[in-house]
């Protein structure tokens, strides 16, 4: 049976006095395993903080059976889109409200990922973190299409704009994938998984390394990353979920 060994989270606005447009779901027992997620409201549109909150509330309220069905991703994201779209019925100014959403469900011998937007999920591979989501940004799409190299895009404005988010007005493009837990176990038998919003991983990717002792300790990782974000001056709202699991769920 898979077991949650430790958990650390944070979620803060870019600056004091501002709304935090990130929303998080800390690990909850759903179906055969644990579900956790981060949603990041798209700040260029009114209702961003409401959209991210609704996304998290929607997935938390879904039937536990949904999370054991790896073919249910389309249903999940369509339901979230339906709920986010309903904001326009409250006030027309929310008609373009949008959010990203990245969730992980760990159970049934696999890590399941559902992803729209530019939050990121990682797992620990020894002394490094490996990204397991694909950014839905113009930058990443240009790289994937082989049209540019990273160095050629450094000075291009707007290359990190999203091409997919959850909104009434945007065609839904999502990533749905699974990874066997057997590929994630570390030498001590544990599994470490992380979700970060873009404000958090901007600081991580600035210098993507901590000591092994920090990487394998969720509390130390969260504390050190938050200190780094503060020292660099936050670029956006910043949220993290870091979990360590043990055991095995076939």
Q: What is the C-alpha separation between 241 and 35, in angstroms, rounded?
A: 11
Res 235: pLDDT = 87
User: What pLDDT does 217 receive?
Assistant: 97
What's the domain range around 230? 3-246
Q: In Å, how far are 7, 53, 75, 105 from 36, measured between CA atoms? A: 11, 14, 18, 7
* CA 194/CA 15 separation, integer angstroms: 23
pLDDT of residue 59: 98
pLDDT at 250: 43
> How many domains would you assign to the chain?
1
**Sequence-separated (6 or more) residues with CB below 8 Å from residue 204:** 129, 196, 225, 228
CATH number for 126: 3.60.40.10
Over the stretch 101-127, which tens digit does the pLDDT of each residue have?
999 999 999 999 999 999 999 999 999
Mean pLDDT by 10 residues, the chain (250 residues): 93 93 97 96 87 98 96 97 93 92 96 96 96 79 50 50 87 95 92 97 94 96 97 94 81
Q: What is the pLDDT of residue 249?
A: 46
Q: Which two tokens stand for residue 161?
A: 């704009």
249's tokens: 């769920």
pLDDT for res 248: 62
pTM of the entire predicted model: 0.90
């Amino acid at each position: 049976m898979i077991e949650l060994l430790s958990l650390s989270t944070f979620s803060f606005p870019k600056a004091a006095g501002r709304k935090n447009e990130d929303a998080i779901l800390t690990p909850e027992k759903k179906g055969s395993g644990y579900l956790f997620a981060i949603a990041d409201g798209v700040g260029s549109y009114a209702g961003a903080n409401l959209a991210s909150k609704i996304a998290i509330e929607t997935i938390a309220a879904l039937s536990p059976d949904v999370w054991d069905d790896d073919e249910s991703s389309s249903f999940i994201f369509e339901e979230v889109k339906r709920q986010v779209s309903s904001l326009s019925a409250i006030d027309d100014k929310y008609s373009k409200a949008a959010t990203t959403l990245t969730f992980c469900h760990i159970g049934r011998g696999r890590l399941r990922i559902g992803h729209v937007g530019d939050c990121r999920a990682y797992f620990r591979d020894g002394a490094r973190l490996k990204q397991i989501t694909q950014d839905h940004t113009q930058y990443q799409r240009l790289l994937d299409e082989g049209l540019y190299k990273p160095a050629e895009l450094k000075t291009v404005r707007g290359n990190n704009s999203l091409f997919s988010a959850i909104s009434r007005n945007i065609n839904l493009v999502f990533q749905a994938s699974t990874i066997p837990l057997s590929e994630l176990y570390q030498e001590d038998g544990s599994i470490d998984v992380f979700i970060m919003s873009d404000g958090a991983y901007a600081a991580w990717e600035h210098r993507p390394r901590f000591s092994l002792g920090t990487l394998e300790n969720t509390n130390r990782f969260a504390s050190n990353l938050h200190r780094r974000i503060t020292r660099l001056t936050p670029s956006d709202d910043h949220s993290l979920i870091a979990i360590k699991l043990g055991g095995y769920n076939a």
